[in-house]
Amino acid sequence: MGTFRSLIGNRKPNKYRNHSVKIDGIRFASKGEGKRYLELKDMLAKKEIKQFELQPEFILLPRYWKCCKKVYTDQTDKKNRCPICGQQMATNRPIIYRADFRIIHNNDRVSIEDVKGTGGFTTPDFENKKKWFEFRYPELTLEIVKRSGKGMEMFCETQPEVKETETDITD
């Protein structure tokens, strides 16, 4: 008698238990993301939004090299040699955040959306990338679309404005 794995084709379940779907020949990581794509496509047809883009990439930390207590982000030497000591430098890959959608609204406001599953579960990696994204791209709004059993809910998590005040310290 075979094991369960051999009966299901030796396929391991997805890490987050999401099921990918294919819509219009495009593969989406989850059903919620696919559903949001259909909503955006409908909004575009009704001219409620100007346009939207799938999987936009944002560079949070560029590729860099480090040597002789200096960091280089633009390396012109193809052999990655340090301009000071001539030693070979290791390339540190960039950190990239790939959102689900970039939406350009009719009033030219740009919003970035990331679709999350039931309960809006986020990983520590996503939380860190979200912080880096907000620091690096303050002009953009990152909106979290949480999928519930009844539909979609949009959560725009913006930080409250901090007003700087002058205080006099007297003895």
Residue 168's pLDDT is 42
User: In sequence order, what are the residues at sequence separation of 6 or more whose Cβ sits closer than 8 angstroms to the Cβ of residue 45?
Assistant: none
Q: Sign of dihedral through CA atoms 74, 77, 80, 84? A: negative
Share of the chain above pLDDT 90, in %: 47
pLDDT band at residue 11 under the 50/70/90 scheme: low
| Mean pLDDT, residues 109-135 | 89
φ, ψ dihedrals at 155, nearest 5°: -120, 120
Please determine, for residue 136, whether its predicted confidence score (pLDDT) is greater than 90. yes
Residue 157's pLDDT is 52
Please determine, for residue 167, whether its predicted confidence score (pLDDT) is greater than 60. no
Angle, CA 56 vertex, CA 63 and CA 134 arms, to 5°: 70
